[in-house]
């Protein structure tokens, strides 16, 4: 059991392979975090009772104690903890003062499911602690779940709230993960960006006051990502105390860090309080999404590896076959110009090049010839596909290639039959003009009629079509958030209910088309989160496919997320063989695909594809399952270097990518492969050269050239 209750002390110990988390129940009432870090700590709850002047306090049998200075497992708003808080419930009296006290606990093997939401799957070394608390004024019963994923050093947390009172109340803020670290001397790392420029890395010292990343956009977004890392100032890739946090959710989020009068740093991960509130009637219950955390004293690289392994083993759908299909996506090659004849020509050419699958992107449905119309009209365009979709897909597959299809179910164009028939099915606010984005509106998935309609139309259109893959897009964010379906007192539930509807439709797709792989997408990587990863094997990383810019996006994406989920396509190399090679070298950081007009690309470029694919297929198991080590940070140097290594260190894929020209010419980098076996000899299968393991550990030298440049080494033990 990885959860142990020490009855004498009233402490709960949660153990992963390398870490420990300790909870103590102060005065039998208040669950406090006593410790999170390396294994075998011996914390003492008495040192957690501090008092500062001006802090509100309770008198516990003559002992003064303040909620404002302890590390509560669930800091509550308004009742004495005046820092940022995790739970705020507006009770029937109209005030939002909240206070929960400990009642009981339960320890069990495995985990509790979270119906309707994505969550991490248990394995044989997963155990859960459930703490049950109550607020006697509102009647809220709060269940805190701590699930320990022992093998990956990850602990997850989510909250279930039951209204045991007589009256309804409103959950106004809910952050399932709250943690107070000792000390203030930390940096924090977060990811920021925009369309085509996703997941840039920001590392700055944590300062007094509040700092936060968030989404108010309805989806997790490219602007910020829910992932944050908190680490010692001196933490590097391979040294230093490092904590990682993330949220298994794809909608609005808040990742909040605060420092105040104490030598402490508070971290909260959850739903936040903007654009969220949930009315809970007597007898009803509410479940939050799950937040996850990991700790390592071995630096930022190990934090990434913990999260990568966790995501592969507990989040991503189990692979359907033992290889990943290399796709040719039609978007950059033919845009909305989709029709039977060209698609067939694409398929024939792709097959000749060793490509596994043709993915037909936007433009096959309704009257969709540009981005102004037809989203919502999910019936095949008969002018483009006179024989219908089923017969077309059969013809495509008769060429020996697999087939994928693009959809964007959450959206509707005002110029569509669906909108004309159901103008009230969109997210909107009465009396306000619609804000458009890419000429589209968002369907209101809080309304079950909307998702039922989509299930029906997709059954009719795709039910008998033998496709193998879906690319699920989502090309705008939410604004004017209101629902025509929900009553007035539930309007603030719209965004959350919308997300539940999205997950419901995704689950339906997985059940209805169990053999299809799902690649999710949101104008590239605008919804790159653990929630989406639960339903889709891959995510289209970014609409930016220029390899030098892509290098930065991939570098940031891999801080929390594994390469197995990162779709990377080689786009048009402008007829240049050197560039084609460069693009390939960048794309094999993740899951390889191609995205250009295969009918017009020059012969000498086309000839390179089969060789590239054959090479990639050798590396693919390493990229999908290997351990990932970053060596050079492109933000600091203009060069990026990393390697993947398998469990027994017998295979290493080393990548060195130069993203700028001449500026750094002749600069030398020493790439230290610490996972190389010092007693072994390695051979680089690309050049045939041999290297001793000890030399690889000491570092092999790469010199910067005068133009964009990529150097890949595939080292195997002799
Ligand atoms: C988004 C996606 C692209 C493509 C287009 C189609 O921008 O990121 O890959 O699918 O939509 O409209």
Tens-place pLDDT, residues 638-680: 999 999 999 999 999 999 999 987 667 888 999 999 999 999 9
User: Is the CB of 521 within 6 Å of ligand 1?
Assistant: yes
C-alpha 522 – ligand 1 centre gap (Å): 8
C-alpha 542 – ligand 1 centre gap (Å): 9
Counting from 1 in the atom list of ligand 1, the atom nearest the Cα of 521 is: 8
C-alpha 205 – ligand 1 centre gap (Å): 37
Whole-number pLDDT of residue 125: 98
Judge whether 153 counts as a catalytic residue. Answer: no
C-alpha 329 – ligand 1 centre gap (Å): 10
C-alpha 532 – ligand 1 centre gap (Å): 17
pLDDT at 227 over 80: yes
Q: Tell me what the mean pLDDT of segment 398-426 comes to.
A: 98
Distance CA 351, CA 325 (A): 12
Whole-number pLDDT of residue 662: 62
The preferred substitution site among 543, 569, 596 for testing ligand 1, maximizing ligand atoms within 8 Å of CB, is 543
Measured CA to CA in angstroms, residue 463 lies from 371, 466, 506, 512 at distances of: 25, 8, 15, 8
pLDDT per residue as tens digits for the range 164-211? 999 999 999 999 999 999 999 999 999 999 999 999 999 999 999 999
The residues with which 567 forms a beta bridge, in sequence order, are 540, 591
Whole-number pLDDT of residue 660: 81
pLDDT per residue as tens digits for the range 272-306? 999 899 999 999 999 999 999 999 999 999 999 99
Asked if 426 and 218 count as a contact pair (C-beta separation under 8 A), the reply is: no
DSSP state of 172: E
Counting from 1 in the atom list of ligand 1, the atom nearest the Cα of 471 is: 10
Whole-number pLDDT of residue 322: 81
Distance CA 14, CA 22 (A): 6
Whole-number pLDDT of residue 47: 81
Q: Parallel, antiparallel, or unpaired: how do β-strands 253-259 and 591-595 relate? A: unpaired
Residues 156, 214, 496, 429, Cα dihedral to 10°: 180
The catalytic position among 543, 572, 627, 677 is: 543
pLDDT per residue as tens digits for the range 52-87? 889 999 998 888 889 999 999 999 999 999 999 999
pLDDT at 321 over 90: no
Q: Tell me what the mean pLDDT of segment 509-518 comes to.
A: 98
pLDDT per residue as tens digits for the range 535-581? 999 999 999 999 999 999 999 999 999 999 999 999 999 999 999 99
User: Is the CB of 361 within 6 Å of ligand 1?
Assistant: yes
pLDDT at 681 over 90: yes
Distance CA 307, CA 242 (A): 12
Judge whether 127 counts as a catalytic residue. Answer: no
Whole-number pLDDT of residue 666: 85
Which tokens belong to 50?
A: 């501090």
Whole-number pLDDT of residue 338: 95
Quickly list DSSP for 343-392: HHHHHHHHHHTT--EEEE-S-SBTT-SSTTB-TT--SB-TTT-TT-HHHH
Counting from 1 in the atom list of ligand 1, the atom nearest the Cα of 406 is: 10
> Which residue minimizes the CA distance to atom 12 of ligand 1?
362
Whole-number pLDDT of residue 706: 80
At 477, is the pLDDT very low, low, confident or very high (cuts 50, 70, 90)? very high
pLDDT at 702 over 80: yes
């Amino acid at each position: 059991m990885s959860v142990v209750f020490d009855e004498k002390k009233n402490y709960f110990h949660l153990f992963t392979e390398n870490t420990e988390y300790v909870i103590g129940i102060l005065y039998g009432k208040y669950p406090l975090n006593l410790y999170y870090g390396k294994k075998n700590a011996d914390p003492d709850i008495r040192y957690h009772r501090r008092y500062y002047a001006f802090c509100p306090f309770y008198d516990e049998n003559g002992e003064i104690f303040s909620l404002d200075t302890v590390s509560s497992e669930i800091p509550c708003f308004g009742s004495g903890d005046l820092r940022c808080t995790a739970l705020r419930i507006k009770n029937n009296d109209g005030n939002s003062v909240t206070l929960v006290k400990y009642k009981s606990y339960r320890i069990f093997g495995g985990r509790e499911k979270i119906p309707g939401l994505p969550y991490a799957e248990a394995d044989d070394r997963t155990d859960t602690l459930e703490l049950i608390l109550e607020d006697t004024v509102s009647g809220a019963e709060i269940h805190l779940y701590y699930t320990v994923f022992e093998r990956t050093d990850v602990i997850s947390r989510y909250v279930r709230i039951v209204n045991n009172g007589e009256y309804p109340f409103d959950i106004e803020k809910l952050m399932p993960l709250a943690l107070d670290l000792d000390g203030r001397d930390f940096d924090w790392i977060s990811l920021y960006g925009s369309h085509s420029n996703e997941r840039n890395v920001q590392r700055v010292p944590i300062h007094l006051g509040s700092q936060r990343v968030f989404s108010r956009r309805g989806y997790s977004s490219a602007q910020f990502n829910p992932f944050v890392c908190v680490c010692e100032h001196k933490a590097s890739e391979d040294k230093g105390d490092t904590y990682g946090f993330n949220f298994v959710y794809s909608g609005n989020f808040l990742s909040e860090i605060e420092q105040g009068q104490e030598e402490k740093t508070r971290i909260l991960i959850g739903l936040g309080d903007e654009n969220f509130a949930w009315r809970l009637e007597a007898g009803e219950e509410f479940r939050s999404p799950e937040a996850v955390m990991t700790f390592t004293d071995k630096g930022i690289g190990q934090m990434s590896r913990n999260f990568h392994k966790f995501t592969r083993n507990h989040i991503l759908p189990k692979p359907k076959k033992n290889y990943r299909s290399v796709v040719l996506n039609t978007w950059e090659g033919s845009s909305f110009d989709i029709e039977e004849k060209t698609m067939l020509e694409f398929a024939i050419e792709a097959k000749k090049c060793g490509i596994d699958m043709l993915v037909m992107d936007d433009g096959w449905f309704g009257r969709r010839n540009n981005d102004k119309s037809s989203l919502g009209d999910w019936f095949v365009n008969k002018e483009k596909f006179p024989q219908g979709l089923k017969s077309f897909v059969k013809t495509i597959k008769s060429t020996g290639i697999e087939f994928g299809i693009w959809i964007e179910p959450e959206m509707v164009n005002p110029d569509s039959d669906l909108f004309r028939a159901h103008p009230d099915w969109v997210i909107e606010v009465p009396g306000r003009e619609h804000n458009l984005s890419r000429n589209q509106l968002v369907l209101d998935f809080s309304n079950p009629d909307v998702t039922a309609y989509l299930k029906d139309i997709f059954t009719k259109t795709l039910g008998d079509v033998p496709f193998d893959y879906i690319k699920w897009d989502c090309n705008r964010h939410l604004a004017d958030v209101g629902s025509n379906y929900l009553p007035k007192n539930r309007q603030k539930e719209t965004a959350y209910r919308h997300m539940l509807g999205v997950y419901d439709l995704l689950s339906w797709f997985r059940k209805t088309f169990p053999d299809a792989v799902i690649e999710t997408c949101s104008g590239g990587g605008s919804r790159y989160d653990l929630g989406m990863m639960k339903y889709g094997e891959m995510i289209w990383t970014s609409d930016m496919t220029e390899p030098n810019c892509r290098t930065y996006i991939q570098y940031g994406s891999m801080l929390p997320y594994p390469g197995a989920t990162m779709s990377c396509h080689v786009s048009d190399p402008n007829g240049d063989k050197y560039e084609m090679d460069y693009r390939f070298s960048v794309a094999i950081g993740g899951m390889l695909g191609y995205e250009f007009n295969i009918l017009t690309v020059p012969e000498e470029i086309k000839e390179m594809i089969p060789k590239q694919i054959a090479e990639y297929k050798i590396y693919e198991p390493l990229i999908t399952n290997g351990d990932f080590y970053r060596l050079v940070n492109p933000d600091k140097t203009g060069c990026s270097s990393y390697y993947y290594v398998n469990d027994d260190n017998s295979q290493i894929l080393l990548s060195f990518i130069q993203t700028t020209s001449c500026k750094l010419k002749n600069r030398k980098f020493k790439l230290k492969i610490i996972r190389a076996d010092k007693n072994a000899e390695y051979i680089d299968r690309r050049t045939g050269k041999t290297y001793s393991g000890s030399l690889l550990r000491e570092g092999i030298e790469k010199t910067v050239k005068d133009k964009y440049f990529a150097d890949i080494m595939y080292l195997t033990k002799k």
